[in-house]
Amino acid sequence: MRQVILALLLIAAAPAAHACTNLLVTPGASADGSAFVTYTCDGVFHPTLQLTPAAEHEPGEMQEVRHWDGTLQAEIPQPAHSHGVTRLINDRQVAIGETTFDGRLELQNRDEGIHYWGLMNLTLERADTARDAVEIIAELLETYGYRSTGESFSICDPREVWIMEMIGAGSDVKGVVWVARRLPDGTISAHANMARIGTFPTDDPENTLYSANIFDVAEANGWWTPADGPLDFAKVYCPADVQKLRYCATRVWSLFRRAAPSQDFDPAFHRGDPEAERYPLWITPDEKIDLRQVMGLMRDHYEGTPFDMTAGVDAGPYACPNRWRPMAWEIDGEAYSWERPISTQQTGFSMIAQCRAALPDPVGGCLWYGVDDTATTVWFPLYAGVTAGPPSYAAGRLGEFSWDSAWWVFNIVANYASLRYSLMIEDITAVQRDLEDGFLAMQSAVEETAAKLYAQDPDLAAEYLTTYSVSAGERVTARWTELAEHLFTKYNDGYVREDGQAREVGYSEAWRREVLKLRPDQFRMRQAAGDTVTNELSY
């Protein structure tokens, strides 16, 4: 039987995003020995959660790889056994995330090869470990070509975490330039649409792998010579201007400054100071990080910093961290840009892959999965050993609202909250905490039961985990539907309605003062001596 991989099986109505954020946590840096890879897939699209079951294949069986538009990209041999894949984690606890950095666009081959999105799924179907994934990616691209722009991959298994970066070898070249580094245990890393690997050792195959052409392509294009010293992948293949630094490096800085405040990372680099030192590829966090902290890191708007998106007149009267596109604009010949946070309204889906060596693969691999903005999503557990996903996460499409689609339910809550964010976010996070705390409280008991079932009968464990994950996802959607109805009832016509009463909340004094700075006389009431101001005109 011929099998087809279509990237649109995983993302409906639009191509995958080009603006994403990844956090990588090695087992030695986590509180319970888990390896974590997070991924926010940001862009204008409707994600549709689908699973690819494990399968056995006959010799000579081929696999078609097609682009989102249906164009055939490659036809490759099936492995004897292909692993089951749930979104971006397989049943061997290998997980992959990505961010696109573009880099030298003249190196992109638009006509031949595999696109990065299909590449991730092909790899997960074949990889037993993170190192396997690195080698499989390289082999597939060197054999069949690569048609995307610059890309950073986060790859983990229960024991190792790798960052791999690649770019095309030329507009008419069927090849790829790449480098991959294994994070030292006890460290964390991050990337966000900007290449992160700088110089690298050339004689440490245990921890660093790279393509044979990495130096030749740089030298042939005049970007580097041996006389320049060690090749710096990021500087050579992804030179960054001020806008790119602002858009990308700020997110890495914020993850690092929160995980290791003692290291006092200088914001000068992400503000574009040419003399500032780049942030290191990896750091040691001040304290070991648990799952709840990972979730918190991915909900960041730079709160408490000079770049806080909930502060200032640009946040509006209700401290909304969202900024509507375009990000950059120009006034009177001067260029400006909004901040770009880790948590953004453009997120289609996000995940936190948790991989653990102490548990059987179908149990130890858990994809904490959510849709829409990370600040207002709920991550629920989707185990690597499931055979089905919650129907509400596989329903819907971009051009038509549906209460049956989790993505649309989360979108209606998040979009409505942007009207009076500082008020509604309290209602949202209360329900969010209740659901996520419940899943975290249940996690050890669920996994202990599943591990015992797995020892007796793997199929029974799969059935148990599937029932649990599907019910968890559907419970989230049902609870969020109730929340949407509650918010619309409570925050209606500018009032806050509670206990049958309509309460006036108005605007903060700080924001009203900002308004008066702009128009000090328009709202002034000139009154006779002895008159008092009343609110009796509210209706």
Q: What is the pLDDT of residues 470-498, one digit of tens each?
A: 999 999 999 999 999 999 999 999 999 99
Q: Is residue 104 part of a domain?
A: yes
pLDDT at 15 over 50: no
Which contiguous run of DSSP H or E holds residue 337? strand 334-337
Least confident of 63-67, 88-92, 179-183, 424-428: 63-67
Q: How confident is the model at residue 66 (pLDDT cuts 50, 70, 90)?
A: confident
Res 539: pLDDT: 46
Quote the tokens at residue 526. 């000139």
Tell which residue, 278, 284, 225, has the closest CA to residue 252.
278
SS3 content of the chain, % helix, strand, coil (to 5): 35, 25, 45
Q: Averaged over 213-228, what is the pLDDT?
A: 98
| Angstrom distance (rounded) from CA 408 to CA 393 | 10
| Angstrom distance (rounded) from CA 56 to CA 125 | 11
Which residues lie closer than 8 Å to 90 by C-beta, 6 or more apart? 83, 84, 124, 125, 127, 365, 384
- 293 and 395, same structural domain? no
Q: Averaged over 112-121, what is the pLDDT?
A: 94
- Characterize the bridge pairing of strands 62-66 and 3-6: parallel
- 279 and 418, same structural domain? no
Tens of pLDDT, residue by residue over 178-201, are 999 999 999 999 999 999 999 999
Res 73: pLDDT: 85
| Angstrom distance (rounded) from CA 94 to CA 127 | 7
| Angstrom distance (rounded) from CA 76 to CA 2 | 11
Q: In this structure, what is the dihedral angle of CA atoms 401, 407, 413, 418, given to the nearest 10 degrees? A: -100
Q: What is the 3-state secondary structure (H, E, C) of 276-297?
A: CCCCCCEECCCCCECHHHHHHH
Quote the tokens at residue 316. 């509006």
195 neighbors 281 (Cβ within 8 angstroms): no
- 17 and 104, same structural domain? yes
Query: What percent of the chain shows pLDDT beyond 90?
Result: 90
- 366 and 228, same structural domain? no
Q: How confident is the model at residue 443 (pLDDT cuts 50, 70, 90)?
A: very high
368 neighbors 354 (Cβ within 8 angstroms): yes
pLDDT at 535 over 90: no
Res 53: pLDDT: 96
Please give the tally of structural domains in the chain: 2
47 neighbors 407 (Cβ within 8 angstroms): yes
- 363 and 296, same structural domain? no
- 229 and 373, same structural domain? no
Q: Quote the distance between the C-alpha of residue 418 and its chain's center.
A: 21
- 292 and 382, same structural domain? no
Q: Is residue 319 part of a domain?
A: no
Q: Is residue 416 part of a domain?
A: yes
Q: Which residues form the domain of 476?
A: 359-492
Q: Is residue 511 part of a domain?
A: no
Q: How confident is the model at residue 72 (pLDDT cuts 50, 70, 90)?
A: confident
Q: Is residue 310 part of a domain?
A: no
Q: Is residue 530 part of a domain?
A: no
Q: What is the overall mean pLDDT for the chain?
A: 94
- 366 and 267, same structural domain? no
Q: Averaged over 4-9, what is the pLDDT?
A: 37
Whether omega for the bond prior to residue 201 falls within 30 degrees of 0, making it cis, is: no
Under DSSP, the state recorded for 307 is T
Q: At 422, phi and psi to the nearest 5?
A: -60, -25
The Cα-based distances of 459 to 51, 268, 367, 492, 502 in angstroms read 17, 54, 19, 50, 55
Quote the tokens at residue 93. 């606890």
Least confident of 13-22, 130-139, 268-277: 13-22
- DSSP E strands in 396-500: the ranges are 491-492, 495-498
Tens of pLDDT, residue by residue over 449-471, are 999 999 999 999 999 999 999 99
Q: Is residue 209 part of a domain?
A: yes
pLDDT at 29 over 80: yes
Q: Is residue 533 part of a domain?
A: no
- 287 and 378, same structural domain? no
Question: At residue 171, what is the residue type?
Answer: S
Q: Averaged over 373-398, what is the pLDDT?
A: 97
pLDDT at 272 over 90: yes
- 256 and 146, same structural domain? yes
- 175 and 106, same structural domain? yes
Tell which residue, 174, 151, 166, 173, has the closest CA to residue 211.
166
Res 536: pLDDT: 52
